[in-house]
């Protein structure tokens, strides 16, 4: 049993499985990775407690961010090595004043510094990798993401990032609704609430996605093609 499953009541796990939920989706021919909102605004600086991270940025998730960070970095390298598309999302800060925020939360009104939207060095996009800006939770809502995925002949989406219960979940539901096979990498997602993380992995696994570990995904992706020596 995986760690997140231990927080789910056993009777509910059994009921979902008996009802036909939690089936696996098939990996398609061409996958894309979507790294959702892994910026300092949603992580906080390394080494801070959750309380300290929230004091720095009210949306930060603190320690769970940095537990997931090396695994997210490895996931990104897996896609780079295979030449598969990688999309990073972050907030479109200039437009939030017009559209409203991604959630209803009324957080402390503090001016946002440039660091809020900065990606940690461990997972920072390289030149030529797309940074998609959005104002709402889903990476699809009001963005050209679907058009890009069609252009790139993508049939499978792999999700990592933050928060499991918020922008990751919203993006997964929309990705599935657009007809993609959707995969969530459990140890590459994080949340400020361990309970919310587990509950949303459980629900996405039951309805919208295959929830896998990083190691499980690596076994499904096509091997890296080595150039002939």
Q: Which of 20, 28, 58, 26 is nearest to 41 (CA)?
A: 58
Residues forming the active site: 167
> 195: Cβ–Cβ under 8 A, 6 or more apart, which residues?
7
Q: What is the CA radius of gyration of the chain?
A: 17
Q: Rounded to the nearest 10 degrees, what angle do helices 10-18 and 194-207 cross at?
A: 10
Q: Write the DSSP string, 176-198.
A: HHTT-EEEEEEEEEE-S-HHHHH
Q: Rounded to an integer, what distance in angstroms lies between the CA atom of residue 216 and that of residue 71?
A: 13
The percent of the chain in helix, strand and coil, each rounded to the nearest 5, is: 45, 15, 40
| Residue 64: CB atoms within 10 Å | 21
The token pair that represents 111 in the structure block: 């001016």
> 6: Cβ–Cβ under 8 A, 6 or more apart, which residues?
198
Q: Rounded to an integer, what distance in angstroms lies between the CA atom of residue 186 and that of residue 134?
A: 23
């Amino acid at each position: 049993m995986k760690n997140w499953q231990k927080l789910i009541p056993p009777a509910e796990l059994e009921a979902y499985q008996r009802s036909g939920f939690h089936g696996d989706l098939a990996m398609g021919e061409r996958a894309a990775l979507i790294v959702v909102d892994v910026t300092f605004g949603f992580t906080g600086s390394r080494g801070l407690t959750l309380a300290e991270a929230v004091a720095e940025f009210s949306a930060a998730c603190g320690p769970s961010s940095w537990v997931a960070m090396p695994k997210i970095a490895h996931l990104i390298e897996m896609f780079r090595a295979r030449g598969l598309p990688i999309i990073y999302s972050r907030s479109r800060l200039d437009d939030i004043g017009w559209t409203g925020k991604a959630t209803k939360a009324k957080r402390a009104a503090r001016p946002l510094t440039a660091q809020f939207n900065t990606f940690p060095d461990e997972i920072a996009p390289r030149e030529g990798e797309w940074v998609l800006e959005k104002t709402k939770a889903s990476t699809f809502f009001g963005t050209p993401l679907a058009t890009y995925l069609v252009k790139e002949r993508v049939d499978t989406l792999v999700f990592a990032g933050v928060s499991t219960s918020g922008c990751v979940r919203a993006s997964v539901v929309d990705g599935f609704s657009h007809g993609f096979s959707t995969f969530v990498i459990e140890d590459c997602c994080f949340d400020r609430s361990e309970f919310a993380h587990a509950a949303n992995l459980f629900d996405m696994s039951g309805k919208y996605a295959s929830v896998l570990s990083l190691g499980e995904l690596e076994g499904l992706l096509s091997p890296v093609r080595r150039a002939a020596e």
